[in-house]
Amino acid sequence: MIYRLFALIKFWLSSSNQHGVHSPFVYRFITKCLYSAPHYKTSKSHNILLKTIAYFEIGQMQLVPTNIAVEKEITKHLNGVSFTKNSHELIFIDRLDKETIDEYIVNNNSIANDTVIFVNGLYQTKDTFKLWESIKELKQVKVTIDLFYCGLVFFRREQVEQHFKIRI
């Protein structure tokens, strides 16, 4: 609990809003998705997940590990999203560990240029934050957005490598 409090303070001191973003792709995502309506009545990270699915018009996603509660929440708010064991559109990672990173990011042949990886609970512990930092260092990762409650990973080859911390 103490770690999360200090991590939140440090995050707020080092993060910015849309005005600190010089990437058109990320700026549009922040202003047209994260900062805009609708605001779902759910946790902050799930609100971000729902908005991300709607913004990118995700039709197929993978939950790691399988989570019936998250699946029900998504289908309650959004139509047309199917859940699969192998998605190239969006992968939702609820518990971060080294094996998950290796299996679903490093050695995942289904990852495409437009794949989005959603990582929940970046600042749960020092170890999960270190794992988030290791994801940012991967060669294939081009853009990350740290939102404190969760993080987004993009593989856009046309994009210059950039890592953002955004307050929402």
Instruction: Provide the pLDDT for residue 15.
Output: 87
Rounded to whole angstroms, how far apart are CA atoms 32 and 56?
Answer: 11
Instruction: Provide the pLDDT for residue 98.
Output: 96
Mean per-residue pLDDT, 114-138: 96
Global confidence as pTM? 0.93
Mean per-residue pLDDT, 12-33: 87
Instruction: Provide the pLDDT for residue 132.
Output: 97
Instruction: Provide the pLDDT for residue 22.
Output: 79
Q: Are strands 60-64 and 90-93 parallel, antiparallel or unpaired?
A: parallel
What is the helix (H) or strand (E) element at residue 22, kind and residue range?
none
Beta bridge partners of 117: 91, 153
Domain-wise residue ranges, the chain: 2-165
Rounded to whole angstroms, how far apart are CA atoms 167 and 145?
Answer: 10
The hierarchical CATH code for the domain 2-165 is 3.40.50
What is the helix (H) or strand (E) element at residue 136, kind and residue range?
helix 126-136
Mean per-residue pLDDT, 130-156: 97
Distance from the first to the final alpha carbon of the chain:
21
